[in-house]
Chain A
């Protein structure tokens, strides 16, 4: 753990621009979680996203050299804080998903499948089922890859309006339609009578505030809460509409794809990050969960249009194709993108000062405000797709495992540890890293191991009331 903290400050690249519209969910405002190490922050100030609206860049450069060493030490101390800043939202999202799965039976009923997974799993033989799930996973992954590439292409050719439009439509869909369904199911479960007018009012308020928060300005906590909620909604949709083996296969393949897409020089996500860095733009805020507030301010001031577009693009890309087919499909598409995006964005740490002074300084004028950055206030960014897939893993574990809560707990701890390790690697390598592979691998290993090995053991122990 100490290493983690130590390395965090040294993260330099951190700021992958938030241009990963592809995979990330459009979290417009959430570009938040960039992890900057102190050093990286300075370097990255070139990005509009950097703390200041691009002003202090010069100052930053100078400061960078001097403060590098000090930064290292300081950031080390705050490394743990960043990890916790990510732990909390991931935990919250998972808790919401698990709570819903356990109580509302709608999400565990098989009501059909998404159009992206046309092969059914109710076949006679195991071989047939395996084949079908492999085909399903292949189709889903190719859809995700196509969408990612489309997003990168759109971004490269500066079709910001398209991307923004896409993101807005996706988030509209999520915020209104899916939360309406969710609310309806919760009411059904608890047998609460509700009239349409009240529901319409509630959903309208919820949706409009959500749109404003995510795509424009809003209090940080509210924005984070909305991002968590839409991640949970997406994860629930995935859990409901993906058949079993397909879901596990998709999780595995997505983490491999994430790894490839972010780390290979020709990977779409990497290109996205690099393009964004070249243009000194922030990645779409809509697809990234960020932990600090400055970003919001900075982004709004610096390049509101680009930022908004960016975020919208991510979501939109996902949403657009989906919409054409089915609502649920959109969700699936969205999820895939957000994930990839997130992976890209995962390891970006942005130094964001959330103190009012820094904000004021930033807003006022560049000059020296940059140097007065407080290394403590760095934010961390995590793509929304990562949230979604973590929650899908844990949700599926709680829905279908024979070990029930034991398995859920085991997967939860495994994912958190994977996140820790990823953050540690981020600190060491200081560039965008995929967040999915390590956590998902741990999660999958623990799920299957706990379900098949630990469960019988614990059952026997509990039966005889032995304690280990």
Chain B
């Protein structure tokens, strides 16, 4: 579905593609830095201690989430500057792309990159021979991974919109809400393989974030009804 989003909404406009790739790049850099921190932490710690390793991993995840949000903020700053440049250079005094579109594309960029990194090795292995969960792990590993990845991609998209909106209007609580949501979702994934603990809250949060972003983007219940009625 995320790839479908990409095809239908982004592939038309070259500027959006650039913003998307840049968004992916920023996410990648944040991942790089966070894994650097984790790596250093692991090296200085005792590799034999299982609990410590797991704890370090959790710490790494949290740190990575914070870094991701920080990079989202940096990306927002960059895009602001870019919009000013675009406006100055365009013929009719208004930018060819609005900050909201940029927010959406940036969110998709982040999401796609994080989803790709989470899933792609799994997919490659899935093509090969093997049995899922042969050592007593869950048999639904691939399915749940797929769903979790999808929810994360969508969440990143919505968070992008919310985050940029918050920055635009200087509503710090919105930004804080995004960060808290991200932390919650990542934290819920710690309950794996107890899947009900991670997938269900994530989907609920996604629905909430979706509704919020929709409202922020100017939609309303009325619009939604009209849209659905037109179709059917």
> Using a CB–CB distance below 8 Å, which chain A residues touch chain B?
1-6, 72-74, 76-77, 80-81, 83-84, 87, 403-406, 409-410, 413-414, 416-417, 420, 446, 449-450, 452-454, 456-458, 460-462, 464-468
* Residues A3 and B85 in contact in the complex (CB < 8 Å), given A413-B24, A454-B31, A456-B39: yes
Contact of A84 among B14, B39, B193 (CB under 8 A): B14
Contacts of B120 in A (CB 8 A): 405-406, 409
B82–A467 touching, CB < 8 Å: no
Task: List 13 A-B pairs, Cβ < 8 Å.
Answer: A81-B14, A403-B121, A406-B121, A409-B117, A410-B28, A456-B35, A458-B117, A460-B53, A460-B57, A461-B61, A465-B145, A465-B193, A468-B34
- Contact between B35 and A454, CB atoms less than 8 A apart: yes
A459's nearest neighbour on chain B, judged by CB, is B121
Contact B89 A76 (CB under 8 A): yes
Does B148 count as interface, using CB distance less than 8 angstroms?
yes
Interface residue? B122 (CB, 8 A)? yes
- Most chain A CB within 10 A, of B61, B65, B68, B89, is at B89
Q: How far is the CA of A413 from the CA of B116 in the complex (A)?
A: 12
B22 at the interface (CB under 8 A from A): yes
Q: Which residues of the other chain, A, contact B65 by a CB distance below 8 angstroms?
A: 468
A residues less than 8 Å from B53 (CB atoms): 460
Q: Which chain B residue shows the least CB distance to A455?
A: B35
**Do B25 and A2 touch across chains, with their CB atoms under 8 A apart?**
no
What residues of A have a CB within 8 angstroms of the CB of B145 in the complex? Answer: 465
Shortest Cβ distance from residue A457 to the other chain B in the assembled complex, whole angstroms: 4
Given known A417-B21, A461-B57, contact A73–B90 (CB-CB < 8 A): yes
Partner of A466, one of B34, B88, B122, B190: B190
List B residues 123-172 near A (Cβ within 8 Å): 124, 141, 144-145, 148-149, 152
Query: Whole-angstrom distance from the CB of A89 to the nearest CB of chain B?
Result: 14
CB distance from A394 to the nearest CB of B (A): 14
In the bound complex, do residue A464 and residue B148 qualify as a contact, i.e. CB atoms below 8 Å apart? no
B57 touches A462 (CB 8 A): no
* B83 beta carbon closer than 8 Å to chain A: yes
Chain A CB within 8 A of B231 CB: no
- Decide: B113 and A1 in contact? CB cutoff 8 A: no
A417–B14 CB distance below 8 A: no
Name the B residues within 8 Å of A2 (CB-CB).
Answer: 82-86, 89, 95
| Closest chain B CB from A66 CB (angstroms) | 16
**B201 is an interface residue with CB less than 8 A from chain A:** no
Decide if B32 touches A84 in the complex (CB within 8 Å). no
Q: Complex Cα distance A416/B109, Å?
A: 14
User: B116 contacts which of A409, A454, A456 (Cβ < 8 Å)?
Assistant: A409
Quick check: A80 and B32 within 8 Å, CB to CB?
A: no
Report yes or no: B118 in contact with A462, Cβ–Cβ below 8 A. Answer: yes
- Of all chain A residues, the one with the shortest Cβ separation from B87 is A2
Q: Name the distance in Å between B151's Cβ and chain A's nearest Cβ.
A: 9
Closest CB of chain A to B72's CB: distance in Å?
13
Within 8 Å by CB of B36, from A72, A453, A458, lies: A453
Q: How far is the CB of B137 from chain A (nearest CB, A)?
A: 9
Among B15, B32, B82, B121, point to the contact of A462 (Cβ < 8 A): B121
A417 CA to B29 CA, complexed, in Å: 12
Q: Which residues of B contact A81 (CB under 8 A)?
A: 14
Q: Given that A81-B14, A458-B117, A464-B192 are known contacts, is A453 also in contact with B35, CB under 8 Å in the complex?
A: yes
**Cβ-closest chain A residue relative to B118:** A467
Decide if A466 touches B32 in the complex (CB within 8 Å). Answer: no
A81-B14, A466-B57, A466-B192 known; A420+B22 contact, CB < 8 A:
yes
Shortest distance between the CB of B80 and any CB in chain A (Å)? 11
Q: Which residues of B contact A77 (CB under 8 A)?
A: 89-91, 96
> Inside 8 A of A73's CB, which chain B residues have their CB?
89-91
Complex CA–CA separation, A76 to B28 (angstroms): 28
Chain B residues with CB under 8 Å of A414's CB are 25, 28
CA distance A395 to B31 in the complex (A): 22
Q: Which residue of A lies closest to B115 (CB)?
A: A467
Residues 39-95 of B at the A interface (beta carbon under 8 Å): 39, 42, 53-54, 57-58, 60-61, 64-65, 68, 82-86, 88-91, 95
B38 — which chain A residues lie within 8 A by C-beta? Answer: 457
Assuming the contacts A454-B32, A465-B189, A468-B64, asked whether A83 and B85 have C-beta atoms less than 8 A apart, the reply is no
Identity of the chain A residue whose Cβ is nearest the Cβ of B149 in the assembled complex: A467
Contact B90 A76 (CB under 8 A): yes
- Pick from B60, B91, B118, B192 the residue with the most CB of A within 10 Å: B118
Instruction: List the 9 shortest-distance A-B pairs measured between CB atoms, nearest first.
Output: A2-B86, A84-B14, A457-B35, A76-B89, A2-B85, A465-B192, A80-B14, A2-B82, A80-B15
Mark out the residues of chain B between 162 and 214 whose CB falls within 8 Å of any chain A CB in the assembled complex: 185-186, 189-190, 192-193
Question: With contacts A76-B89, A413-B28 known, is A467 near B60, CB below 8 A?
Answer: no
Q: Which residues of A contact B95 (CB under 8 A)?
A: 2
* Complex contacts, B114 vs chain A, CB 8 Å: 468
List chain B residues, Cβ under 8 A from A450. 32
Q: How far is the CB of A1 from chain B (nearest CB, A)?
A: 5
Is there an interface contact between B18 and A83, defined as CB atoms closer than 8 Å? yes
User: By the criterion CB–CB under 8 Å, are A5 and B89 in contact?
Assistant: yes
A36 to B22, CA, bound (A): 24
Q: Judging by beta carbons under 8 Å apart, are A467 and B148 in contact?
A: yes
Residues of A within 8 A of B64 (CB): 468
Beyond the given A3-B85, A461-B118, please list 18 additional residue pairs across the A-B interface where CB-CB is below 8 A.
A1-B15, A2-B84, A3-B82, A5-B15, A5-B89, A74-B91, A81-B14, A413-B28, A414-B28, A420-B18, A450-B32, A457-B34, A457-B60, A461-B57, A465-B141, A466-B61, A467-B149, A467-B186
Q: Mask for B1-34, Cβ within 8 A of A = 1, else 0?
A: 0000000000001110111011011001001101
Report the separation of the CA atoms of residues A403 and B31 in the bound assembly, to the nearest whole angstrom: 14
Could you tell me the distance between the alpha carbons of A3 and B79 in the complex, rounded to whole angstroms? 11
| Known A-B contacts A72-B89, A466-B186, A466-B192; A83 and B14 likewise in contact (beta carbons under 8 Å) | yes
Q: Are A413 and B193 in contact (CB under 8 A)?
A: no
